[in-house]
Amino acid sequence: MNDLADRILPVSARAAGLIDDTRLGKSLGPYALETILVPTLVVSARDDGFGTYAGAQYTASQIRNAKFLGFEQGGHLLVGHDAAVQAEIARLLISVSRP
């Protein structure tokens, strides 16, 4: 966790990029999720301070072949769920690499 904090702090060093991300995000329109045809993994934690959980559930429900991996706790960084997330990513990659 300390290594992660060292890489993302201070936030002030990334302020311009964060402001730009927010501006761009607010201008995006709806995306036709049902047109995504590849296997998709959508991951979120219910206690994510950015409120991504409901949107992640919705996204997964609209994409054919999507899997939703949800956690009650873990926040935006999914703290404590590295192994579970990595295992699901590996399953997804293995499933799409088979002929």
73-98 per-position pLDDT tens digit: 999 999 999 999 999 999 999 999 87
The answer to whether residue 2 is domain-embedded is no
Q: 74: domain range?
A: 30-97
The answer to whether residue 19 is domain-embedded is no
The answer to whether residue 21 is domain-embedded is no
The answer to whether residue 73 is domain-embedded is yes
**pLDDT at 9 (0 to 100):** 66
**pLDDT at 39 (0 to 100):** 95
**pLDDT at 27 (0 to 100):** 85
Query: Can you give the three-state secondary structure of 13-81, one letter per residue?
Result: HHHHHHHHHHHHHHHCCCCCHHHCCCCEEEEEECCCCCCCHHHHHHHHHHCCCEEEEEECCCCCCCCCC
**pLDDT at 29 (0 to 100):** 86
| Whether residue 58 has pLDDT greater than 70 | yes
Q: Specify the number of domains making up the chain.
A: 1
The answer to whether residue 58 is domain-embedded is yes
Average pLDDT of the chain to the nearest whole number: 90
The answer to whether residue 37 is domain-embedded is yes
